[in-house]
Chain A
Amino acid sequence: AQSVTQLDSHVSVSEGTPVLLRCNYSSSYSPSLFWYVQHPNKGLQLLLKYTSAATLVKGINGFEAEFKKSETSFHLTKPSAHMSDAAEYFCVVSEGGTYKYIFGTGTRLKVLA
């Protein structure tokens, strides 16, 4: 069975410093992995996705993630945090065949001025 673990429920960074949101997955075959962002009382916005092409994936708003099969990780990074990055971030693995999404528990990013 597939699963996703987001290692930190809360992350706080200062504005202008790097962001690292951690995600580990479990999958019996090559997974499709996604990062979504959710601002309060809003729907989900796709940041980036990995679908067995390049292992380093660049997304919107300066975010990127690296797929590391040996570590079963798909951590999300950004070189310099902005106040507008404060939100909830979800790591997702897509289940093959049914294309169901399996969500991580989320990481709330707080950006300090």
Chain B
Amino acid sequence: GAVVSQHPSWVICKSGTSVKIECRSLDFQATTMFWYRQFPKQSLMLMATSNEGSKATYEQGVEKDKFLINHASLTLSTLTVTSAHPEDSSFYICSEKGLAGGSNYNEQFFGPGTRLTVL
């Protein structure tokens, strides 16, 4: 399967600041990546689908101006939480979709996650 990294693994920031989280595909070019958030003891909630070279597609209820997603290259997608507030504190996880035509075409490969704490 694919290997996905995230950086940083954890971050603490002050309320009102912006935080950027990187998601990298380490072993193949990912045209599609996904961003999730997970609150404590809850399931993963899809925030948006990130497509290389085009605008991200956000799920209903997710503020696109608050959660800026950029997928400028085939190996890197970034999520920027703008003007972060304590309620944005969460575990953010990215994933990449398997290659079209491959045996894992409908599978997602997950990064290790980023713990964001906003004070």
Contacts and interface: CB of A to CB of B under 8 A. Distances in A.
B49 interface: yes
Nearest to B4: A43
B43 A99 contact: no
Interface residues of B, number: 23
A7 interface: no
Interface string A9-26: 000000000000000000
Contacts of B113: 41-43
Contacts, number: 49
Contacts of B91: 41
A46 B93 contact: no
Given A99-B32, A103-B43, A43 B93 contact: yes
B108 A101 contact: yes
B44 interface: yes
Nearest to B108: A101
A36 B36 CA distance: 15
A82 B53 CA distance: 45
Contacts of B112: 42-43
Interface in B1-35: 1, 32, 34
B106 interface: yes
A80 interface: no
* Listed residue (B32, B34, B108) with the most chain A CB atoms within 10 angstroms of its CB: B108
